[in-house]
Structure 1
Amino acid sequence: MIAAGTSAFTNSSTASDSAASLSATLNTPRCTIILATALVKVTNNWGMPILCRALLDSGSQLNFVSERLAVQLGIHRNFSQTEISGIGDYNVSIRHSICTTITSNTSAYSAELTFLILSRISEPQPECNVNISQWNLLANLQLADPLFFKPQKIDMLLGAEIYVDLLINEQFRLADHLPIFQNTKLGWIVTGRLSAIKHSSLLANKITTTSIASLELLLRQFWEIETHAHSNKILTAEEKLCEAHFSSTVQRAENGRFIVSLPFKQPPSVLGESLTTAKRRFFALERKLAKNSSLKKQYIQFMSEYETLHHMKRLGNYADFVANKEM
Structure 2
Amino acid sequence: MNAEIQVGPIRCKIRVGLDSFAAHSYVRKNIVEQVGIPVLESIPMEVHGLGGTVSKGKADVVQFDLVSNDGANSSIKVNAVVKADKICSPLPPIDLGSEELACLYKYDLPSESPGSEVIADVLLGADYCWRVQKPRGGIFVLEVHAGHYPGAEIWFNGTLNPGLDALDHMMEKFWTLESVGIMDKGLVHTEEDQLALDLFEKSLKRCDDGHYEVGLPFKKDRVRLENNYIQAKRLLESTEKRFDKCPELKIQYCKAMKEYEENGYAREVSRAEIEDLKNEEVFFIPHHGVARTGSVSTALRVVFNASSPDRNGVSLNDLLLPGPPLQNDIVAKIMIQELWILGVSWDEVIEGEIAQAFIKWCEEIPLLSEIKIPRIGSTIEKQGIQLVGFGDASESAYGAVIYAVIANHTRNSRVTFMIAKTRVAPIKFKSIARLELLAAHLLCRLMKYVSDALESRVVTRT
- Shorter-chain TM-score category? 0.3 to 0.5
Compare CA radii of gyration and give the structure with the larger one: 2
TM-score for the superposition, normalised by structure 1: 0.47
> 1 or 2, which has the higher strand percentage?
1
TM-score for the superposition, normalised by structure 2: 0.35
Which structure ranks higher in relative contact order (CA pairs < 8 Å, sequence separation ≥ 6)?
1
